[in-house]
Amino acid sequence: EAQVTQNPRYLITVTGKKLTVTCSQNMNHEYMSWYRQDPGLGLRQIYYSMNVEVTDKGDVPEGYKVSRKEKRNFPLILESPSPNQTSLYFCASSMLASQYEQYFGPGTRLTVT
Amino acid sequence: AQSVTQLDSHVSVSEGTPVLLRCNYSSSYSPSLFWYVQHPNKGLQLLLKYTSAATLVKGINGFEAEFKKSETSFHLTKPSAHMSDAAEYFCVVTVPGNTPLVFGKGTRLSVIA
């Protein structure tokens, strides 16, 4: 089954404790992206990647890092989480030629206390 | 730069009555426009797309949207609402090339029995 998986689905952590949210897709997509969703703000792009070893900042990259060492994986790293990073995070992937048709993961709800 | 404005944050309809979710866009270039749907506790799913072909586009589950350049609008409609349509709907704009998707803030659709 074609899908995007994220882990963990739920995470409660404390300020400053490094964490990684994993994202994996099995569709051989070149394009992958991370979004955060906050009430009343819609989805905002954090980082995206057009292929292995190619990453770029989205609209709200501050406080986040990503890497793309393999085509299927695109982890999101919070080196020193802060409470304003409490949010719902989505990973998405697509073919490079049709970035509008993105396949979304189920989401990761992160709470930073 | 491009942007979208979803004119209603919440729309409530009775089952069996028409649905209208409004979206206006702004773009310096010929836009591509999309509607995504997010059911509770799920990731986003592409509902329909406009990419400069027919101005009236049909999507899944009986939804339609009409691209009106003169009004810079891309409203989403459905003749008869079903309980399963209750979800959050996002209007999205992008332009050709490797440009990111720009999401509206979302419209929550409630369907009353």
**C-alpha span between B43 and A70 (Å, rounded):** 23
User: What pLDDT sits at residue B28?
Assistant: 82
Residue of A nearest to B99 (CA): A99
Q: Which of A10-24, A36-50, A99-113, B88-102 has the highest mean pLDDT?
A: A10-24
Give the nearest partner residue to A106 out of B43, B46, B106, using CB atoms: B43
For A13-44, write each residue's pLDDT tens digit: 999 999 999 999 999 999 999 999 998 888 99
Give the nearest partner residue to B103 out of A43, A96, A101, using CB atoms: A43
**C-alpha span between A65 and A46 (Å, rounded):** 9
Q: Between chains, do A107 and B41 touch, taking CB under 8 Å as contact?
A: yes
User: Could you tell me which residues of chain A have a Cβ less than 8 Å from any Cβ in chain B?
Assistant: 4, 33, 35, 40-45, 48, 50, 58-59, 90, 92, 96, 99-102, 104-107
For A50-66, write each residue's pLDDT tens digit: 999 999 999 899 999 99
In this predicted structure, the answer to whether residue B108 has a pLDDT above a threshold of 90 is yes
Q: Between chains, do B100 and A102 touch, taking CB under 8 Å as contact?
A: no
Percent of chain B topping pLDDT 70: 98
Q: Which range among A65-69, B94-98, B99-103 shows the weakest confidence by mean pLDDT?
A: B94-98
pLDDT band at B51 (very low <50, low <70, confident <90, very high): confident
* pLDDT mean over B29-42: 89
User: What pLDDT sits at residue B1?
Assistant: 78
In this predicted structure, the answer to whether residue B94 has a pLDDT above a threshold of 90 is no
More confident residue, A61 or A97: A61
* Residue B113: DSSP 8-state: -
User: What pLDDT sits at residue A87?
Assistant: 97
How big is the A-B interface in CB pairs under 8 Å? 53
**C-alpha span between A84 and A17 (Å, rounded):** 14
Q: Between chains, do A101 and B49 touch, taking CB under 8 Å as contact?
A: yes
Give the nearest partner residue to B90 out of A40, A43, A58, using CB atoms: A43
A100: chain B residues, CB-CB within 8 Å = 32, 34, 46, 49, 51, 92, 94, 101
User: What pLDDT sits at residue B40?
Assistant: 87
Q: Between chains, do B100 and A45 touch, taking CB under 8 Å as contact?
A: yes
Percent of chain A topping pLDDT 90: 85
Please tell me the distance in Å from B11's CA to the nearest CA on chain A: 14
Query: Which residues lie below 8 Å from residue B14, measured CB to CB, with a gap of 6+?
Result: B81, B111, B112, B113
Q: What angle do CA A48, A50, A55 make, to 5 degrees?
A: 50
User: What pLDDT sits at residue B98?
Assistant: 62
